Amino acid sequence: MLDESYESRIIDGKVLAQQVEEEVRSGVEDLESNRGITPGLATILVGDDPASKMYVRLKHRACERVGIRAEDFLLPADSTQEELLALIDSLNNNKDVHGILLQLPLPEHFSPQEAMEAISPAKDADGFHPYNMGKLMIGDEGLVPCTPHGVIRALEEYNVPVKGKNAVIVGHSNVVGKPMAAMLLNRNASVSVCHIFTDDLKKYTLGADILVVAAGVKHLIKADMVKEGAVIFDVGITKEEDGVYGDVDFENVIKKASLITPVPGGVGPLTVAMLMKHVLMCAEKSL
Ligand SMILES: Nc1nc2c(c(=O)[nH]1)N[C@@H](CN(C=O)c1ccc(C(=O)N[C@@H](CCC(=O)O)C(=O)O)cc1)CN2
């Protein structure tokens, strides 16, 4: 049981996500009444991975809440890269589709990079296209990956200073770690990126004013690895029979953190809400 005195340290991702969704809902209404456009998202799911199916379902439910039209495209696990590319091409040319989301991971025999590059940069709701990633790297943030965008939104909402602070990211994936590093660097944090080959992880995490953990290792970060007063974002999700766990040993780490996201109910819901924001952005820029 969590001591009540720590509750004010919890960043409630569901509440923040509701706020973002409210903004999107009002943006969708404006776009419909001023330009007669209803934003549309096409989701592509390849195969039947249960977690991916659930994430796509969460995205469709969010679309319903904010008034975005969502269409589901399912490809069997044994479909080919060429079939996937043909589907993406048809969605790129569909004027009712403003955003395209390709749920990751893809089955082994696919090239996710080639598929990402096939999505029109203007419809890249996930911000994974090299063009949008490149823009992010030079500080021109438009369509950026949803999870790091959610972390930035939470930092803003909680008035956490970033400039000159030590930010440490654990995990160097293209989905979270690398874009997160760029976004924090764009805000003048001093950024360290750690990963599986990092020698002495604790040496880095102990210096973090802002710690973002996306390693996918249950309870990797223990209380003795964090600085007193750190702001901590837990992006990891490990599902076990008795529940869902993050990369941070929440119950103990919260005693040292000034702010921390729980799992579930932290960064996950924000990721979905930022996707809604991106689809609206794509629709607003469409001709
Ligand atoms: N195309 C993409 N693929 C993937 C992304 C992404 O941003 N784009 N991120 C992750 C999965 N993901 C979204 O797709 C995602 C993960 C988690 C949640 C979420 O709300 N999780 C809940 C917990 C749910 C549970 O019980 O398992 C929470 O944290 O509260 C939403 C979206 C990889 N793929």
Cite the annotated binding site by residue number.
Answer: 171-173, 196, 237
- Distance between CA atoms of residues 51 and 1, nearest Å: 28
pLDDT in the model for residue 2: 82
Active site residue 59: yes
pLDDT in the model for residue 273: 98
Reported CATH class of domain 145-269: alpha beta
Active site residue 103: yes
Four-point Cα dihedral 272, 112, 54, 246, nearest 10: -70
CATH topology identical between 38-120 and 145-269: yes
Residue nearest to atom 1 of ligand 1 (CA): 103
Question: 271 C-alpha vs ligand 1 centroid, how far in Å?
Answer: 7
pLDDT tens, residue order, the chain (287 aa): 788 889 999 999 999 999 999 999 999 999 999 999 999 999 999 999 999 999 999 999 999 999 999 999 999 999 999 999 999 999 999 999 999 999 999 999 999 999 999 999 999 999 999 999 999 999 999 999 999 999 999 999 999 999 999 999 999 999 999 999 999 999 999 999 999 999 999 999 999 999 999 999 999 999 999 999 999 999 999 999 999 999 999 999 999 999 999 999 999 999 999 999 999 999 999 97
Residues with CB under 6 A from ligand 1: 55, 58, 101-104, 126, 146-147, 175, 237, 239, 244, 263-266, 268-269, 271-272
Each domain of the chain, given as residue ranges in start order, spans 38-120, 145-269
Q: Which of 124, 126, 209, 249 is catalytic?
A: 126
Q: Does domain 38-120 have CATH number 3.40.50.10860?
A: yes
**Alpha-carbon distances of 220 from 35, 195, 234, 253, rounded to whole Å:** 49, 12, 10, 11
- Distance between CA atoms of residues 223 and 255, nearest Å: 8
Cα-to-chain-centroid distance, residue 123 = 17
Residue nearest to atom 19 of ligand 1 (CA): 268
